[in-house]
Amino acid sequence: MMQKPQNVKGMRDHLPQAMLLRQYIINTLTGVFERHGFEPLATPVAEYAETLEGKLGDDEKLIYRFEDHGGRKLALRYDQTVPLARVVAQYAGQLALPWRRYAIGPSYRGERPARGRYREFWQADVDIVGSDSPLADAEIVLVLTDALAALGFPAFTTLINHRQVLGGIARASGLDDIAASAVYRAIDKLDKIGTDGVREELLCSGVTDAAATRILEMVLLEGQAESVLAELGHRLQGDERALAALANLRAIVSHLEAMGVSSERYALAPRLARGLSYYTGAVFETISSHWPEGSLLGGGRYDELIGLFAHRQVPTVGLAFGIDRLHDVMEELGLGPRLQTTAQVFVTIFGSEQIAASLQLTQELRSAGLNVITALDANAGLGKQFKEADRKGIRYVLVQGPNDLARDEVVLKDLGSGEQRSVPRAEVATTLRALVETTRR
Ligand code: AMP
């Protein structure tokens, strides 16, 4: 019996039109990353399972594990951060710190698939390795702001918090560090289960009613960065770690101002917990009203993760864009180019006598930097060839019949406007390049 063709649940095929938008996203991000001096890094999709174990908290259960042919226990990478930590430790001598790196590729998580949540998805990461300066944290927020602006996102806000602000909130409520992790987990669910849900979770994990109220009051603080910082400073008085965290956030905010990042683009959000357990300092998450399901991207400072591999602390801050989410939102909002195909020009074949002339013309146009395809059926009528070009979404079609060849001309038809004209052979490439340039704009 013939096998039913189907892709793996939660892992998607991307057909050409979708791929063209994805590639536009990837190229745009790459351009912004490189303008900020980030360097590319690629690591394999598979790691030794023990490399990933013990770094992801509750999410560890989502790791895909398998054995290779030699019985080694392997895992598909869950993100590109833990592999980065391994690389920094493994190639310490070859990497000059601080090091700005970017990585764009697939990650794998055994999640329950939903809109914007897949089991194979692409992330674009930027990290600054080997700096504990708040300038590095601010640079990461700047990169993400520039990148989303370059993609044309009309509305987005980056929420910023600090793990030790959350720690301070938990401590101010009289909890020890172990109970505090239950507080983070509860707060992390605020958007999903609401204030009452979080209160209930807090009470279940042994927090008193009065403490839950104090926690929620602080967690729900909103407003201008300065006023949120001042209010938290007042409430967390005496907690040195929390006050240091607030000073760190204040420095990040002042660098963002100096970098020219509009204050509308970010907000201090004491409620932001971020699930992953490796974060130690500032944490970020970018949300958009166009994506109510969750975050577009997220990241933060993780000063201890690399130390698990390197036996020395290497302070690092970074974040991961979710390419699939950017793609879904851009598709919905009509952002980015809507290319149907890569070819810009279709060269017809008038008849079997003119095959060589058409092939020659095609090669010439390619040398001039145009994307060109030629008809494959010399016996198909011109009407049929025009239809093929139109179906593929190629706007410019060229014809070279015997008369055109005799006059050293080419007929150029614009399927967009329906106009047709003869162009001297020597000018075809320049004419087409100018046309393609204007239609791109
Ligand atoms: P995380 O590594 O969990 O901090 O996620 C960083 C970003 O990757 C998120 O903001 C999402 O955009 C994206 N992302 C995470 N998990 C998934 C998933 N299962 N499917 C698609 N995108 C994801």
- Condensed to tens digits (0 to 9), the pLDDT of residues 17-48 reads 999 999 999 999 999 999 999 999 999 999 99
| Interval between CA 410 and ligand 1 midpoint (Å) | 51
Q: How does residue 336 score in pLDDT terms, banded at 50, 70 and 90?
A: very high
Closest-CA residue to 228 (of 187, 165, 270, 257): 270
Nearest residue (by CA) to ligand 1, atom 10, is 297
- Is residue 86 predicted with pLDDT exceeding 70? yes
328 CA distance to ligand 1 centroid (A)?
13
Q: Which amino acid is at 418?
A: G
The atom number, within ligand 1, closest to the CA of 320 reads 6
8-state DSSP, 12: -
Distance CA 17, CA 82 (A): 32
- Read off the DSSP letter of residue 393: T
The pLDDT score that the predictor gives to residue 10 is: 97
Does the structure show a pLDDT above 60 at 405?
A: yes
- Do 12-156+288-339 and 345-440 show the same overall fold? no
**Which of 64, 324, 329 to probe ligand 1 with, by most ligand atoms within 8 A of CB?**
324
- Flag whether pLDDT at 441 surpasses 70: no
**Domain 12-156+288-339 sits in CATH 3.30.930.10:** yes
What pLDDT, on the 0 to 100 scale, is given for residue 1?
Answer: 78
Residues with C-beta less than 6 Å from any ligand 1 atom: 79, 109, 111, 116-118, 121, 123, 276, 295-298, 320, 322, 324-325
Instruction: Name the token pair of 186.
Output: 């509860």
Mean pLDDT of the chain: 94
Sign of CA dihedral 320, 324, 328, 330: positive
pLDDT tens digits, residue range 375-396? Answer: 999 999 999 999 999 999 999 9
Which has the higher per-residue pLDDT, 136 or 210?
A: 136
Query: Could you give the CA distance from residue 63 to residue 397 in angstroms, rounded to a whole number?
Result: 50
pLDDT at 188: 84
pTM for this entry: 0.91
Kindly give the distance from the C-alpha atom of residue 46 to the centroid of ligand 1, in angstroms, as a whole number: 18
Q: For the segment 308-323, what is each residue's pLDDT rounded down to a tens digit?
A: 999 899 999 999 999 9
- Please state the domain extents for the chain: 12-156+288-339, 162-259, 345-440
Local structure of residue 220 (DSSP, 8 states): T
Nearest to 55, CA basis, from 283, 311, 279, 334 = 279
- Classified by CATH at the fold level, domain 345-440 comes out as Rossmann fold (3.40.50)
Q: For residue 438, what pLDDT band results from cuts at 50, 70 and 90?
A: confident
Q: Which of 376, 330, 338, 19 is nearest to 148 (CA)?
A: 330
Q: What is the pLDDT of residue 275?
A: 67
> How close is the Cα of 81 to the center of ligand 1, in Å?
12
Mean pLDDT of 70-83: 97
